[in-house]
Amino acid sequence: MAGRRADTLAGLTGHGVKMSLDDFGTGYSSLVHLRRLPVSELKIDRSFVARLAVDNEDAEIVRCTIDLAHSLGLLVVAEGVEDDETWERLRDLRCDAVQGWLVAAAMPPQETTAWLRARGEHGWRRPAEPAAAAGAAAAGTPPELEQRPSGRAINSRPATT
């Protein structure tokens, strides 16, 4: 049975389907899955992300996880981002994308489609804040990326239910 599942996943990725390893660091999302599954993206569980700003051990786990994923050629999504301080720390750690209440509430697929369409050709990237967008334009940063007060960008996306 496991061989059939692996063949199915390999077939899907062969057709351009991207796979994410969800809730990494908890439960059944172990390191062995990074070798056995054809994933292109690793999602760090919110239990680590939520305490990033207040717990040095969680911050180190998040940093090491991002570094590991990048060394394997994977994109990294941090789940459960709810405040600017966490957003900033993840940006500094080179996290590729975030999910959480700071971006949008979880929504059903139909609403997600409308949410994405409302953002135009740049899809799930959160629109820039007006003041930061003006500074980014002068610096040559693409305006479709979310700009924080520092003027540095990080991608964001909604979670689906």
The model's pLDDT over 104-138, given as tens digits with 9 standing for 90+, comes to 888 898 888 888 788 765 544 444 444 444 444 44
Where along the chain do its domains lie? 1-102, 104-161
Q: What is the pLDDT of residue 133?
A: 44
In DSSP terms, which residues pair with 153 in a beta bridge? 147
Q: How many CB atoms lie within 10 A of CB 122?
A: 14
Q: Using a cut of 0.75, tell me whether the model's pTM lies above it.
A: no
pLDDT > 60? residue 142: no
Residue 41 burial (C-beta neighbours within 10 Å; 0-12, 13-18, 19+)? middle
Please give the pLDDT value at position 34.
Answer: 80
Nearest CA to 87 out of 139, 132, 121, 38 is that of 132
pLDDT, position 13: 87
- Which pLDDT band, with edges at 50, 70 and 90, does 19 fall under? confident
| CA–CA dist 36, 9 (Å, integer) | 10
Q: According to the model, what pLDDT value does residue 144 have?
A: 36
Query: Looking at per-residue confidence, does 126 or 90 come out higher?
Result: 90
**CA–CA dist 69, 25 (Å, integer):** 12
Torsion of CA 140, 93, 87, 30, to 10 degrees: 130
Tokens standing for residue 9: 């996943």
3-state SS, one letter per residue, for 60-95: HHHHHHHHHHHHCCCEEEECCCCCHHHHHHHHHCCC
**Domain spanning 1-102: which CATH class is it, in words?**
alpha beta
Kindly report, residue by residue over 28-87, the tens digit of the pLDDT. Answer: 657 777 877 888 999 999 999 999 989 999 999 999 999 999 999 999 999 999 998 999
The predicted pLDDT at position 94 comes to 95
DSSP 142: -
